[in-house]
């Protein structure tokens, strides 16, 4: 199977409500492809596992939502990494701009 016909969408139920986030998967193999939400129509979030081209190594990482991680999850932050209990104020797009890792 190839193309759009092979893609299926999952929308999670959160607190009894259907999420606006659409998780797109390959219906044949189950690979996670991307997340899209009508709440943020200009954004598309690909799953890292779906990227099949080489990407540059970032100079730092941002670890977020660590305040709700499982107790057995160890944060392996590097010296330049930022760690947040919840979401940082900086957006993904802003981080890429600051790191000069954009194509624009």
Mean pLDDT value across the chain: 90
Q: Which helix (H) or strand (E) holds 97?
A: helix 92-98
* Total number of domains constituting the chain: 2
What percent of the chain has a predicted confidence (pLDDT) above 70?
97
Q: Look at residue 104 in the predicted model and tell me its pLDDT.
A: 59
Contact by Cβ (8 Å): 11, 17: no
> What average pLDDT does range 92-99 have in this prediction?
90
Contact by Cβ (8 Å): 87, 64: yes
85 and 46, same domain (yes or no) = no
40 and 68, same domain (yes or no) = no
75 and 39, same domain (yes or no) = no
**Each residue's pLDDT tens digit, 39-84:** 888 888 899 888 888 988 899 999 999 999 999 999 999 999 999 9
39 and 82, same domain (yes or no) = no
pTM of the model: 0.64
Instruction: Tell me what percent of the chain is helix, strand and coil, each rounded to the nearest 5.
Output: 15, 25, 60
Owning domain of residue 83: 56-104
Please state whether beta strands 62-63 and 82-83 pair in parallel, antiparallel, or not at all (unpaired).
parallel
């Amino acid at each position: 199977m190839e193309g759009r016909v092979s893609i299926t969408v999952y929308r999670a139920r959160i607190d009894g409500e259907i999420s606006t986030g659409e998780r797109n998967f390959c219906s044949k193999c189950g690979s996670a492809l991307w997340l899209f939400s009508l709440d943020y129509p200009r954004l598309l979030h690909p799953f890292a596992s779906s990227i099949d081209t080489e990407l540059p190594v970032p100079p730092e990482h941002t670890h977020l939502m660590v305040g709700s991680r499982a107790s057995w999850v160890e944060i392996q932050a590097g010296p330049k990494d930022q760690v947040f209990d919840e979401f940082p104020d900086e957006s993904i797009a802003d981080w890429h701009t600051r790191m000069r890792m954009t194509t624009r």
